[in-house]
Chains A and B, each alone.
Chain A
Amino acid sequence: MRIALIDYGAGNLHSAAKALMRALDETGQRGEVIMGADPEVIAKADRIVLPGDGAFRDCRENLAIVNGLEDALDHAVRSKGRPFLGICVGMQLLATRGLERGITAGLGWIPGDVVPLQPADPVLKVPHMGWNTLSMTSAHPVLEGIALGPQGLHAYFLHSFHLIPEGTGNLIATAGYGGPVSAIVGRDTVIGTQFHPEKSQVLGVKLLANFLKWAP
């Protein structure tokens, strides 16, 4: 299995690469993680992972300036249906628009806006930073075998904005933080996690393994 881990200068890829290799071991499959932004590599990949740390606008600009990258992603994911995982800002970029420091157009693969977190309880601090449990909104293969709910496993969050998808169909899981926080979104062969699976120990490796096994 060839996993393309997109390098577009928006954060470190080492932990994600390592976690994907670890997840690959769990699936018992052989494969490799290829870091880069080469359209050729993306075209031949069996799985595509888009990480992203930082501000929405900054990541969006970084993505746009790599020649041919967006076209290659669009073709591989939307035309050919390759399974795709966006992580953190890599997930937020799936939205129609980001509202962090002005309005920035996203990839528009999952209709919705990326908006500031506003917990109903003013005592709750923003950023939403740390370990939280997940509640399922719609069943999805990437959640298979993962204990959910208040007594379930934890995922690591580090963010001040989240993606609110239009309608509820594309929302897979939420975390509770003074109201629901979008934790996982998905549509067709696209999935995105607001939390960092590569930093989420047990839950993270399991989710990544599920993503690699997923055959939509």
Chain B
Amino acid sequence: MLKKRVIPCLDVKNGRVVKGINFVDLADVGDPVESAKAYDAAGADELCFLDITASHENRGTLLDVVRRTAENCFMPVTVGGGVREVEDVRALMLAGADKVSINTAAVRDRSIVGRAAEKFGAQAIVVAIDAKKVSGDGQSPRWEIFTHGGRNPTGIDAIAYAREVADLGAGEILLTSMDRDGTKAGFDLALTRAVSDAVTIPVVASGGVGTLDHLVEGIREGGASAVLAASIFHYGTFSIAEAKRHMAEAGLPMRLDGLEGIG
């Protein structure tokens, strides 16, 4: 049986982790490779790197991080942030990314999704959707795509967009609620459910995790195939093992055999 996935996410800027993770044994909390190794050993199901470097000139630094991570981890890695062209996807794949996440570039020009999927297979192409609720109370719910960290509205309906990129060949959707991101109030479950029901590809729920029950809700009520979280793991509020055991105890199918890593 396919298991539900728990995915820690690392924000990387100029080759350094922005919010250092709070692991006791970590020699250098700013080194993304050290953090990746720690999550690998802890039994994370996948890892997500989000490059938030403003300038495209520092791309080589990210590729080096991805390369060193792939050489040191026996788990799959998704890399996102700053992907503009199919060539960016190729560079990341050759460096060792298993999946590459496309965000703004796909909002600007949907065709990149199909072109990338044709080259690398749908399974390697993730479309990241940052959505915000735009409907008022009492109205039927509507979410729009926002870019630039939730600052720029696009007027594009998030559900219709999800359907569109799935049809174009995306293999997964990384769905972040900009309303919930950083709030620790839990996922936007209605949004997660609406997107998950609209597409036949896996959806990763992101944005708002504060408790372990939130992870369970994202799967059970949101219909997500995987849950992504950053701060609860980075700051050591909960370990990957605690998260997965909690989800298993709640009755979700989880992989528990990797929790000690392979040393």
B is a partner of A: yes
Is residue B54 contacting chain A, with contact meaning CB distance below 8 A?
A: no
Distance A58 CA – B117 CA, assembled complex (angstroms): 11
| Given A14-B70, A14-B96, A55-B118, CB of A125 within 8 Å of CB of B45 | no
- Interface-lining segment among B1-9, B16-24, B180-188, B208-216: B1-9
Question: A152 contacts which chain B residues (CB < 8 A)?
Answer: 257
Which one of A14, A133, A203, A205 lies within 8 Å of B71 (CB-CB)?
A14
CB distance from B79 to the nearest CB of A (A): 11
Is residue A29 contacting chain B, with contact meaning CB distance below 8 A?
A: no
Number of cross-chain contacts by CB at 8 Å: 130
CB distance from B59 to the nearest CB of A (A): 16
Q: Report whether over half of chain A's contact residues are helix, strand or loop; otherwise say mixed.
A: mixed
Mark B24-47 against chain A: 1 for CB-CB distance below 8 A, else 0. Answer: 000000000000000010010110
* CB-based nearest A residue for B92: A12
Distance A53 CA – B123 CA, assembled complex (angstroms): 9
Is residue B200 contacting chain A, with contact meaning CB distance below 8 A?
A: yes
* CB-based nearest A residue for B257: A153
Docked-complex contact A200 and B70, CB < 8 angstroms: no
Q: Chain B interface: which size bin?
A: 35 or more
Is residue B13 contacting chain A, with contact meaning CB distance below 8 A?
A: no
| Given A129-B123, A132-B1, A160-B121, CB of A200 within 8 Å of CB of B74 | yes
CB distance from B218 to the nearest CB of A (A): 15
- The residue in B76, B118, B120, B258 that gathers the most chain A C-beta atoms within 10 A of its C-beta is B76
27 A-B residue pairs with CB within 8 Å: A15-B96, A18-B72, A54-B121, A55-B118, A55-B119, A122-B200, A125-B200, A126-B201, A127-B123, A129-B202, A130-B4, A130-B5, A130-B202, A130-B225, A132-B1, A154-B3, A157-B2, A158-B76, A158-B123, A158-B124, A160-B123, A160-B171, A176-B1, A201-B43, A201-B75, A205-B74, A205-B262
Q: Which residues of B contact A (CB under 8 A)?
A: 1-5, 40, 43, 45-46, 67, 70-76, 93-99, 117-124, 171-172, 199-203, 225-226, 255, 257-258, 261-262
